[in-house]
Structure 1
Amino acid sequence: MRTKLHLIVLCLAMVAMLAACGSEEKKADEKADVQTGEVAPAGKLVLGVAGAHSGDLASYGLPSVNAARLVAAKLNAAGGVNGMQVEVVAQDDQCKPELATNVATKMVSDKVSIVLGHICSGATKAALPIYLESRIVVMSPSATNPPLTQSGEYPNFFRTIAPDDAQAALEVSFAKSLGLKKLAVIHDKGDYGMGFANFCKQFIEADDEMEVVLYEGVTPGAVDYSAVIQKIRSSGADGVIFGGYHPEASKIVSGMRKRDLAIPFLSDDGVKDDTFIRVAGEFAEGVYATGPMDFSTNAIFQEAVAAHKAEFGSDPGPFFPEAYSAALALLTAVQNAGSTDYDKVIEALRTQYVDTPVGSIKFDAKGDAEGVGFAVYQVQDGKYVEIK
């Protein structure tokens, strides 16, 4: 009986020792986490990054992930945001609305604090109601569909790029400067492409010297666009304006050139991407596309590009400056607000300027960045060059 009692006491002592060791080990791990820059979950500020990280439009989305990581690393090295280390969590929506809703739901369940994204307007529109219901602030570097801000439906949404009505006005004005009078306006039927095309159509029809001789939608992902190319030829158009992304634009312009249809081809920032030039090859030469203004003389822009080259060994892709600016704006707003409180972060975004690669910006009551805009570019000798 005494022997059994001794064994019980010994077992209890061993359990107590193991528990104490476990507690000390946990404290040691937490201390080590702090020393290595990895903090306990309660000390993290989670920045979600949503966009096309695979598929045809990954070249638009991956630069945003890189931008977020660079900004997070810079701020973490300086002590974080309000003492919290920034953790970047990326989710891939392939620019598809049906995937974007899943991504937004995952972001909410993962308890992200703020979101950089989405990239494409259709995906952004699909995801925003989910973020709004959960009171999460979202900022896109590239979703240009005007109603995203102008409708007033999404007070939680901001962007570091100008909307498509401004882009379309510039596009039509430039088309007129080229002497074009009869325009074929083509789009990809999506929120972004069709929205841009609709604005172009409105601006053309408001000009007594110009007219829309063809307004046509195409199906994204089609192998061949010979039918719409024939319609362009038959319409008598002296120029084409396309609203959409580079996969469709490269096929249309290549088909036009192969059929000796040499009229000017103008498009949007969904086509101002080196991927378009690589895919369209020689047929890309001479194509015009509007895109964000050139901020290459901005010191913060230069610093961000240099950081990208040092970290990833390459030049950043499209919308990188806008994404870097969005990450800076979001995280600075949290810093200025003193917390991730929804109302305080929104107030900080609307009232306090932040220096970014696209300039010193704050946001208007609708969520658009003040002071950003578009420029016209042309493919010359295999590269996009700004038209002054």
Structure 2
Amino acid sequence: MNEHAQQPAASDPLFDPLAPDFIRDPYPHYERLRTLDPMHVTPFGSFLASRHAEVSLVMRDKRFGKDFVERSKRRYGPKIMEEPVFRSMSHWMLQSDPPDHTRLRGLVVKAFTARRVEDMRPRIQEIVDQTLDAVIDRGQMDLIEDFAFRLPVTIICDMLGIPEDHREVFYKGSRDGGRLLDPVPLSPEEIRQGNAGNLMAQMYFQQLFELRRRNPGEDLTTKLVQAEEDGHKLTNEELTANIILLFGAGHETTVNLIGNGLLALHRNPDQLALLKARPELITNAIEEFLRYDSSVQMTGRVTLEDIDDLGGKRIPKGETVLCLLGSANRDPAVYPDRPDRLDIARENVKPLSFGGGIHFCLGAQLARIEAEIAINTLLKRLPDLRIDDVENPEWRPTFVLRGLKRLPASW
């Protein structure tokens, strides 16, 4: 945030990620963690890595895995896998280890190759232009709902072969699934809500599978349905869970990347002016937006063996290590030149926002290109756009998925 951001009080807990103050601006809290306790043990017993060195090591080192089922049982008790939403998440490739992870990822990776994604540029441009055509005469819009949200939802619907006449419900869809990923345990009521949302998604996607069995297309759902019919490649539960994952991951984070990027630019008018004057800086600017205010703030791993020394702590086998991506991205050890400043021309920006190792984000290149085209087109077509309130925008109440609830703007 801005450099005169409010500093946390000395009495504040080091890590309280759902506190409103933390959600509004986590970065001063991260700075405190990196300085005072870079491998902090949280109140619920996880190890918290806040420096770049440990975060990047944990994501890439084979001694760390996901071990989702055991980790969830330790946290919630032996019956947790009877909850539909946890059972579904246990099949996500994001939460699985080899060999399951290798098999699941292998089935979808071809849809996200650099070549495939580059070929989508004209379609992405078309959606952004249509989105702006729809609002340009109104003189105002919510940059999240009316702009940032439409593009990635439309693209992931295209990729999954979701018919046009089914999409309205997805555009109106609630964006409250993010709480499932937060490091603070879920209440029974939140688990109930998660189950309900999961059930709705399962019901819809089961219908989509039937449709694609009858009318195969060129889309990802058709390919996965065919892999399921191949028997040992994919079970129905895995199919459903991973389509839900792809749908969520395919839009949530990109919405936030576009929203957080636009907010950062408007909070730094010199950078906004620079990007308008030199639109060719957009590719580097996207990397800087990812670094400066990542739409994914954290990822987790589990130790698969005893670790003798990670940032000065011994970590027994089976413990959870949470990696603070947003903190690593502002570590002065890697970004010595004022890491808290937005600088779209910064050199050697290599954000950890897409994760690392075998779980590196499949859609990283797609997200980058979507954000690039969305932001550049907006600046070109609405050069005098103003965000109504850059100082106190309304953040979503989730920590891992960092993004704005709404961002009203006018021109």
Q: Same fold (TM over 0.5)?
A: no
TM-score by length of structure 2 reads 0.24
TM-score by length of structure 1 reads 0.25
With a CA cutoff of 8 Å and minimum separation of 6, indicate the structure with the bigger relative contact order.
2
Q: By percentage of residues, which structure has more strand? A: 1
Q: By percentage of residues, which structure has more helix? A: 2
